[in-house]
Chain A
Amino acid sequence: MKFWIGAALCAVGLTAMALSGINEYVFFAGFVVLQSIVLATAWNILGGYAGYVNFGVPAFVAMGAYSSLFVFKAFNAPLVVQILAGASVSGLLGLGVGLLTLRLRGIFFSISTVALIFILEAVINNWRYLGAATGVQITRPATWGPFESYTRMLFVVMALMSIVAIAIARYIQDSHIGRGLRAVRDSEEAAECSGVPTLQLKLIACGVSGALLGAAGAPMPMYLSYIEPASSFNLSYAIAALAMPIIGGMAHWVGPLIGALLLATIQQVVTVTISSELNVLVVGGLLVLFVVLAPEGLVGLYRKWKTSSK
């Protein structure tokens, strides 16, 4: 109950913010931070709970973005339909990746997800209708509702999406699915022998994780009014989605949330004040630091501190 009250307060607060007269740039940057929350939370459902490291986040995000572009171009579909299209296509891609887990674990699984990025990028690069390598310029439709600008509206949409993502992650964590996935992470053979339906659970995790990643990518064409393959399939999505849950802590749904808020905010500040190269360096540096010194993340550090102070 406490969770839902908090979620509702966040939703109301962020919507009120979008309706107020705060500088437009706050929402432009805020959208990226909120998107990071969705990406980190979605990644963690597979990576954190089940222990399958997905490097292919850019593939899912870009498929979401390009599905959204496709339905917009072909049927002039509204934003909600675009997001549903992105979520379905990336969800299906996730199920495909889930089938790979039948044979592949560890680094083999991770490398095969990297392969998805480059194969799909080559496909888009050769797909004229979707702008091929040069990309497509988009004219945004009129803003819906009481919002002053399209960016403000997307900000609220992304806020709702992160609440949905966190609610899903929380549900999975506390239900039989989460328990099963943790068993898979600790020992897949033992889980299988104890009657855990490993394949079914992995497929659920891959599908849900993929769908959320796709949904987070779907508003991208509208957000930038422009889309092209090189930045859509950028590997920095992969490192960010990996670093945020690890820094926050992968065992609990709150970890990715904290990690994303912290890291994405730092990234936005560094990008604006110093340079975008340095922001990747900060992400990589923090990732390596946490993996070596505090593999349980901030949540783990907090737990340790709490038990030692008792």
Chain B
Amino acid sequence: MIFSFDLLFEAILFGILLGCFYAAVSLGLSVAFGLLDVPYVAHPAVLILGSYGTFWLNDHLGIDPLLSGIMLMPVFYALGVMLYRFYHASFESRGGDASVNGLAFFFGLAFIIEVLLIIVFGVDQRSAHADYIGESLEIGEIRLPYRLLVAFGVALLLTYVLTLFFSKTFVGRAIKAVGQDEMALRLMGANPTQIKQMAFGIATAVNALAGAMLIIVSPVEPSMDRIYIGRTFCVVVLAGLGSMSGTLVAGLLLGIVESIVLTLFGASWAPAVAFGMLLILLGLRPQGLFGR
């Protein structure tokens, strides 16, 4: 392995592009798990569901993948609301031994989504078609694929919009409040369950757009959710649960580290990077880098 600064520079550049994308796919989990404390291990499976929804719209109706992702958002919002209601009625409101059962529920749900995708779409890799997929921007020696640039731009925009939403709007602040102190919110006359339900819907809608970005960045297959368990949870825990700007920084960190490891040690180590960082992080500093 010849070490060169050019190679390192390129790795870091790709890491930054990839990192913003990782932040974007983790935003929904940051809300659902980070703010609402729902053990949402099905998040990556729903992400892949979004990718396949995008694939279907793109393949059958010829709609641009990004636009498809935006079109899926209301559908996924409704899906998220229903999912939270179901979770709340079955586990949260029962109290007691909810942790084991809630976890098992979402783990089972992830598998169900994965198998349904296999049955409907098959195990083959699927990709979306658009003008910007496959082309690259060339700056001197470095080639930057447009698909990564598109995902990078959308990811930045999405993070910015969500940060604004949580700090400026009434609903956004209410969601942050419910994450901090449910009882206090109830005393103020607001219904925490309703706000959480809305937040979960928003998280799932964001996940639909993230799924569209995923299929723009790379071809998808149904079992891909497994590796994204590591990436999304790594980003969310690293960010310190529920912080949007922290999510961006954590995503960048993961993207850069993964890209460097990929360049130095080869692709077979790539899946272990996110999980390795996650394990070290959980062992040493579970509250994250920017923890509350």
* A and B held together in a complex: yes
Which A residues are closer than 8 A to B by beta carbons?
Answer: 47, 51, 53, 55, 100, 103-104, 106-108, 110-112, 114-119, 121-123, 125-126, 133, 185, 235, 238-239, 242-243, 246, 250, 277-278, 280-281, 283-285, 287-288, 291-292, 295
Q: Are A115 and B268 in contact (CB under 8 A)?
A: no
Knowing A53-B100, A119-B272, A119-B275 touch, does A281 contact B116 (C-beta < 8 A)?
A: yes
- In the complex, which residues of chain A have a beta carbon less than 8 angstroms from the beta carbon of B112? 281, 284-285, 288
User: Could you give 23 example pairs across A and B, Cβ below 8 Å?
Assistant: A47-B100, A51-B97, A51-B100, A104-B283, A106-B39, A106-B99, A111-B41, A111-B233, A111-B282, A116-B279, A118-B272, A121-B271, A235-B111, A235-B226, A246-B101, A250-B100, A278-B115, A281-B116, A283-B108, A285-B108, A287-B105, A291-B105, A295-B97
Query: How near does chain A come to B250, taking the closest CB pair, in angstroms?
Result: 15
B252-292 CB mask vs A (1 if < 8 Å, else 0) is 00000000000000001101100110110011001000000
Q: Are A115 and B286 in contact (CB under 8 A)?
A: no
B179-220 CB mask vs A (1 if < 8 Å, else 0) is 000000000000000000000000000000000000000000
Q: Are B283 and A100 in contact (CB under 8 A)?
A: yes
- In the complex, which residues of chain A have a beta carbon less than 8 angstroms from the beta carbon of B226? 118, 235
Knowing A242-B107, A292-B105 touch, does A108 contact B282 (C-beta < 8 A)?
A: yes
Q: Are B229 and A287 in contact (CB under 8 A)?
A: no
Residue in A closest to B225 when the chains form the complex, CB atoms: A235
Q: Are A133 and B268 in contact (CB under 8 A)?
A: yes
Instruction: Tell me, in angstroms, the Cα distance from A110 to B249 when the chains sit together.
Output: 25
Assuming A111-B41, A291-B108, what are 20 further A-B pairs, CB within 8 angstroms?
A: A111-B233, A111-B278, A112-B282, A112-B283, A114-B275, A115-B275, A115-B278, A121-B271, A122-B269, A126-B268, A185-B97, A235-B226, A239-B108, A239-B111, A246-B104, A284-B111, A285-B108, A288-B105, A288-B112, A291-B105
Query: How near does chain A come to B31, taking the closest CB pair, in angstroms?
Result: 15
Residue in A closest to B282 when the chains form the complex, CB atoms: A112
Q: Are A111 and B104 in contact (CB under 8 A)?
A: no
Q: Is B174 an interface residue, CB under 8 A from the partner? A: no
Knowing A53-B103, A106-B99, A119-B275 touch, does A284 contact B109 (C-beta < 8 A)?
A: yes
Q: Is B7 an interface residue, CB under 8 A from the partner? A: no
Query: How near does chain B come to A67, taking the closest CB pair, in angstroms?
Result: 20
Residue in B closest to A115 when the chains form the complex, CB atoms: B275
Which residues of B224-239 have CB atoms within 8 Å of chain A's CB atoms? 226-227, 229-230, 233, 237
- In the complex, which residues of chain A have a beta carbon less than 8 angstroms from the beta carbon of B271? 118, 121-122
Instruction: Tell me, in angstroms, the Cα distance from A111 to B237 when the chains sit together.
Output: 11
Residue in B closest to A282 when the chains form the complex, CB atoms: B115
B53-91 CB mask vs A (1 if < 8 Å, else 0) is 000000000000000000000000000000000000010
Shortest Cβ-Cβ A-B pairs, 6 listed: A122-B272, A115-B275, A287-B108, A284-B111, A107-B39, A118-B275
- In the complex, which residues of chain B have a beta carbon less than 8 angstroms from the beta carbon of A278? 115, 119
Q: Is B130 an interface residue, CB under 8 A from the partner? A: no
Instruction: Tell me, in angstroms, the Cα distance from A292 to B282 when the chains sit together.
Output: 29
Knowing A114-B229, A119-B272, A281-B116 touch, does A107 contact B97 (C-beta < 8 A)?
A: no
Instruction: Tell me, in angstroms, the Cα distance from A126 to B272 when the chains sit together.
Output: 12
Instruction: Tell me, in angstroms, the Cα distance from A103 to B287 when the chains sit together.
Output: 11
Which residues of B109-133 have CB atoms within 8 Å of chain A's CB atoms? 109, 111-112, 114-116, 118-119
Which residues of B35-49 have CB atoms within 8 Å of chain A's CB atoms? 39, 41
Q: Are B279 and A119 in contact (CB under 8 A)?
A: yes
Q: Are B103 and A106 in contact (CB under 8 A)?
A: yes
Query: How near does chain B come to A151, taking the closest CB pair, in angstroms?
Result: 29
- In the complex, which residues of chain A have a beta carbon less than 8 angstroms from the beta carbon of B119? 277-278, 281
- In the complex, which residues of chain B have a beta carbon less than 8 angstroms from the beta carbon of A283? 108, 111
- In the complex, which residues of chain A have a beta carbon less than 8 angstroms from the beta carbon of B101? 246, 291, 295
Q: Is B21 an interface residue, CB under 8 A from the partner? A: no
- In the complex, which residues of chain A have a beta carbon less than 8 angstroms from the beta carbon of B33? 107
- In the complex, which residues of chain B have a beta carbon less than 8 angstroms from the beta carbon of A277? 115, 118-119
Q: Are B90 and A292 in contact (CB under 8 A)?
A: yes
Q: Are A284 and B229 in contact (CB under 8 A)?
A: no
